[in-house]
Amino acid sequence: MQSEKRIFDDLAKVLNGVAGTVAGMGREAEASMRERAREWAGGLDLVSREEFDAVKTLAANARAEADALGKRVAALETALQAKGGVAPAKAKPSK
């Protein structure tokens, strides 16, 4: 009876060791794949998230400024027309 218990104890120790080894191999494989993905992505001409967000913000600001300037020009043309000045110019279609 005592020898059976010892066999089960030894088997449990071996299985715990195997489980730890397999978990370690999994972590190593994941780290290796992440490193290979970084190397692969590094070879591409990609931008970082920070750079993308900065350009996106600049574009939004430029768009807002262009809209504000367009409204200002329209208001100035309307005021000029009200004073009997030149008729407002037709807007050129954007490409």
- Kindly list the domain boundaries of the chain, sorted by start residue: 1-46, 47-82
| 47 vs 82: CA distance, rounded Å | 50
- Helix segments in 1-95, DSSP class H: 2-43, 49-82
- pLDDT of the residue at 86: 65
The per-residue pLDDT for range 7-62, each reduced to its tens digit, is 888 889 998 999 999 999 999 999 999 999 888 877 787 888 999 999 999 999 99
List the end-to-end C-alpha distance of the chain, in Å, as a whole number: 89
Question: What predicted TM-score, i.e. pTM, was given to this entire model?
Answer: 0.43
